[in-house]
Amino acid sequence: MFRMTWLVAAVLLSPNSITFAENAAPISHGFLVTGGETYLQDADGKVLWSFPKSTRDGWVLPNGNLLLAVSRSNDGGSVVEVTRDGQTVFEFKGTQSEVNTVEPLANGNILLTEAGDKPRIMEVTRDGTIAVDVPIQAQTKDHHLQTRMTRKLANGNYLVPQLLDKVVREYQPDGKVVWEVATPNWPFTAIRLDNGNTLVNCTIGNLTIEVDKDGKTIWEISNDDFAEKPFADACGGQRLPNGNTVITAYNAKPGQIKLFEVTREKKIVWTYTDQRGPGIHHFQILDTNGKPVVGRPLR
């Protein structure tokens, strides 16, 4: 059975999944996709694993299992951990409108967010006990547009993109907001970088910005910067160890750019396209040219 830590074991290049940067070697990636379809794919386009349900967020765990936020169906969504052979070894069911975030934590807990009349961040233990319950200060008229990719920070706080509120907030475990930044459009991904800045993808704004601790935008990219016009609903994002940023175009159609990697100098060095109908909601880049992404991914 295929096994992986933070690595997809394949290095062959696929003609439809690379772009050649000027005077640079070709780049390839293996990655996890969450969205209307959920699957692991190597750098040659081979699907190594798939899950039969739509998902919102997900991680490849060090033991090779997959931790997924499952989209709502006739329920409030859920978080599951599944093995490569499809066995469910953990499940926590949502109690409100939907579950839209999941993150494995260093303390063994699982972070998730619930959307609903009482939006909240939770940390759940492996036996299903709610260990932490943090209320989110968000609008309640549209549950689906309350929050997205919430992450726990190294300082113990939580970074929460709040779409319809057009704000990213940092919450303490007691629910107090200790930092926030207004965003030009709906924020979907908020990533606290090692230098203390925050990288934000603004979904239908087709815009990615990096702000400093004072909320000042110090870097941004949009379709105005590229002849390819790769932005098409900038949902998930990941900052790679080399400083490049990978962004998904969730509304891309079959044959259009669905993922792209861009440098700080605003050069696109890799793109991914396919003929699948569903777009990529979020993703996890697992390797670059066969070498695993080392350490905790910034996503």
pLDDT computed for residue 256 by the predictor: 97
CB 11 within 8 Å of CB 289: yes
Binned at pLDDT 50, 70 and 90, residue 1 comes out as very low
Quick one: average pLDDT of 273-295?
95
pLDDT computed for residue 7 by the predictor: 31
The bridge status of strand 187-192 relative to strand 177-182 is unpaired
**Domain boundaries defined on the chain:** 31-289
Quick one: average pLDDT of 34-40?
97
CATH architecture of 31-289: 6 Propeller (2.120)
Binned at pLDDT 50, 70 and 90, residue 24 comes out as low
Alpha-carbon distance of 74 to 138, in angstroms, equals: 24
pLDDT computed for residue 74 by the predictor: 75
Mean pLDDT of the chain: 91
Tens-digit pLDDT profile for residues 108-121: 999 999 999 999 99
CB 168 within 8 Å of CB 180: yes
Tens-digit pLDDT profile for residues 53-62: 999 999 999 9
| pLDDT over threshold 80, residue 251 | yes
